[in-house]
Amino acid sequence: MITIIKDKSEHKNENIVELTRIVFDECGLEGELVIEDWDLDRIYITKEGREWIIRTWNIRENSKGRVIIDWTLYRMKPDGSSAEGSMGSGKTIMKC
């Protein structure tokens, strides 16, 4: 289970925290992480000294007023130059 130690982003948002928790759980990853920042389509995370990015795609609302988010989780190379590859992807439905 993932534990979010701190949301260091400038604009705190519980939905971002919850989406981050869901993504890491669905990818079967455990440990502690810090949300460093986020923007319209990315969440920047540090986990055990490594950088991770959640890339969101195709965000839309369904007829029940819930938000559907397609996402991909990337672990960055140790030097931060680029992603090592996708660690998982999925679709999450959230009540916002």
- Indicate the pTM of the whole model: 0.89
Q: Is residue 8 predicted with pLDDT exceeding 80?
A: yes
Angle at 10 between CA 23 and CA 73, to 5 degrees: 20
48-92 residue pLDDT tens: 889 999 999 999 999 999 999 999 999 999 887 888 889 999 999
Mean pLDDT of the 40-46 span: 94
The helix or strand, by DSSP H or E, that contains position 60, with its residue range, turns out to be strand 50-61
pLDDT band for position 36 (cuts 50, 70, 90):
very high
Q: Write the DSSP assignment of 5-44 as a string of letters.
A: EEE--SS--HHHHHHHHHHHHHTT--EEEEEEEE-SSEEE
Residue 9 to residue 4: CA distance in whole angstroms:
12
Q: Is residue 32 predicted with pLDDT exceeding 80?
A: yes
